[in-house]
Structure 1
Amino acid sequence: MIYSSMECKIFLFGASGKMGSCFGALVSQTPPFSLTSDPARADAFVDFSVASALEDHLALALRHKQPLVIGTTGHAEGLLERLQTASFEIPLFLSYNFSLGAALFIETLSRFKRHFPKNTKIAIEECHHLSKRDAPSGTALKLAQALDFPPEKIRSERKEEIVGIHEVRLTSGGESILFRHEAASREVFAQGALSALRFILKKTPGLYTMEDLIHAKS
């Protein structure tokens, strides 16, 4: 589907969850978008449910030949290969964190990495609310990948009412640099997911990420 100013109906998986309800409220207040309970009428699908249901939700999007935005985390091994295969048929957008700031955070550290002294010590910490199921978070794993850092050394913490905090500390030669990203509310992720939805509605089949989105904005 090529996005236009006409009405765009979204079928939302996980609409009753914390993130799903936040995104649903935003969609309902943002014309020309609206929610539909009928997948046959959907112009796009958005998944904020649970990772274990993604295979079924992907199959539904493929059946209706409509784009799918994926916001679940903690996926099983082999999922990326499955998504890459499906992306030959429909546009897919996969993100573990829809915050544009978090995407820029990872991008900045990835580019900054080549300037690290060889003896630089890296520490990655993340903290989220108690109901977050996966640890480390998907964002922390992306940071570890960008910095060639062992994922098993990520420090994870769960506290009440913490939306999301990620910190990277670089220590070398008696000095340290602290990089920190904190999301103050789920609305940050909802806005980012809506930006991802707008982005993918203009795309041909393929697998897209926040990196594609921020590069398109630059």
Structure 2
Amino acid sequence: MHIGLIGASGRLGTLVCENLVQQKLTFTKIAREDLQNIPSFMQLLQHVSESMIILDISLPVGTENICNIINNLEEKNLKQIKGLVIGTTGHNDRQKQLLLSTSQKIPICMVSNFSKGVYLFEEILKAKTSQGLTVTELARALGFDMAMTEIHHTLKKDAPSGTAITLAEAGKIPAKQISSVRVGKVVGDHSIHLSADSESLEIKHTAHARKLFAEGAIELCKNIYTQAPKPGFLRKEDFFIS
């Protein structure tokens, strides 16, 4: 497996590169200039002898650029790309439509957070209880109100975070019930608050080190590469476990 990495110069990208070196995995840094046109990208592909899975952890414009490239590749070159894993969030409607068309050519997996703990958090919210209701449905039936708080470092641009939006969707929590805080160097805290008249509960996930996202991203790429799914939008739930 060879990983083509978009966003290698970012904070997460730097950690992904370090982890790839530690695991002795081959990879290529795909720079902004490589995505400007087909000839530039083809020149990069010619230096990669094996099949590639692309990991995009850049910005929405980076996702747009790689999708435009993929949609214009010839079939023989397209076969070299086994999938596109996207950890970027904040795509607009036009970019989402572009992703949809690109998924007809290669498998695409969009992940708002590469943490296994966040994945488990989401599954807890959607899990069925003995009543046949999901955890969040049961909470509301028991009279609990629900809200979310998410805290990240001051350099994080989007608010609420993609992870908060994903968890809120799992718990059917409206956007107005999400509070975002940007402070210090916090890696990432996500909490669901359940409150009734005389009692309250809190479900919380805390990321202690940014490297967990790098490790999770690489493992997800490995799983998708190994399982070799057909083109289309992939459910991330199918690839967190190898």
Aligned to 2:239: 213
Q: Is the 8 A contact 2:122 2:167 kept in 1?
A: yes
Q: How does 1:1-218 map to 2 (within 5 A)?
A: 8-31=1-24, 33-37=25-29, 38-40=44-46, 41=48, 43-62=52-71, 63=73, 64-65=77-78, 66=81, 67-111=83-127, 112-118=135-141, 119-201=143-225, 202=227, 203-214=229-240, 216=241
Q: Deviations over 1:137-195 (max 9, x none)?
A: 01111121112211133100111211111000111241111000011111111111011
Q: Supply the distance in 2 between the matched residues of 1:103 and 1:79 (Cα, whole angstroms).
A: 25
> Gapped runs of 5+ residues in structure 1?
1-7
Q: Is the 8 A contact 2:187 2:208 kept in 1?
A: yes
Please report the TM-score for the alignment, with normalisation by the length of structure 2: 0.79
Q: Is the 8 A contact 1:11 1:39 kept in 2?
A: no
Larger CA Rg, structure 1 vs 2: 2
Q: Supply the distance in 1 between the matched residues of 2:223 and 2:69 (Cα, whole angstroms).
A: 21
Aligned to 2:32: none
Aligned to 1:5: none
State the secondary structure of the residue aligned to 1:114: helix
Please report the TM-score for the alignment, with normalisation by the length of structure 1: 0.88
Q: Supply the distance in 1 between the matched residues of 2:215 and 2:101 (Cα, whole angstroms).
A: 28
> Gapped runs of 5+ residues in structure 2?
30-43, 128-134
The higher relative CO (CA closer than 8 Å, separation ≥ 6) is in 1
Q: Deviations over 1:3-26 (max 9, x none)?
A: xxxxx2222111111000111111
How many residues matched?
208
Q: Supply the distance in 1 between the matched residues of 2:186 and 2:70 (Cα, whole angstroms).
A: 32
Q: Deviations over 1:58-81 (max 9, x none)?
A: 233453421111111111124334
State the secondary structure of the residue aligned to 1:88: coil
What is the percent sequence identity of the aligned residues?
Answer: 33
Moved over 4 A (4+): none
State the secondary structure of the residue aligned to 2:147: strand
The amino acid across from 2:93 in the alignment is E
The amino acid across from 2:106 in the alignment is I
